[in-house]
Amino acid sequence: MATIFTKIIQGEIPGYIVAEDERFCAFLDAFPVQYGHTLVVPKREENYLFDLEDAELSEMILFAKKVAAAIKKATSCNRVGIAVMGLEVPHAHIHLIPIQKEKDMDFNHKVPNPDPEKMKEMAAAIQSNL
């Protein structure tokens, strides 16, 4: 059965895709820690990030680097934090989170009821900075 991430990539369920190529996709997290919180995933389903082949993992990190640069420009954040947790969805993924300070990456304090219009604007801002 396809993961929720695969369903977003294939357009079966809505998502705010900000970047993609033939191997990877980046889209806004539906339950963001900060506006601009983006997930980078391989299009090929793999449960654990570190089970990816070395070349694929390297390419994914380079793809994430481009997305992170666009997030930084779009949000004027101090840095883009990165987290790899991967327990909530069985599909390898990297969290990219715009932060001003370290506590901005606290996954226990997510944006309550993210505003769809603000999410759409954030996706467009990230896309325009790629």
Stretch (H or E) spanning 99:
strand 94-99
Q: Residues 76-87, buried b or exposed e (16+ Cβ, 10 A)?
A: ebebbbeeeebe
Q: Could you say which of 37, 91, 93, 95 is catalytic?
A: 93
C-alpha span between 43 and 34 (Å, rounded):
24
**Catalytic residue flag (residue 37):** no
Q: What is the CB-side half-sphere exposure of residue 69 using CA atoms within 13 A?
A: 7
Find how far residue 10's CA is from the centre of its chain: 16
Q: What positions carry a catalytic annotation?
A: 93
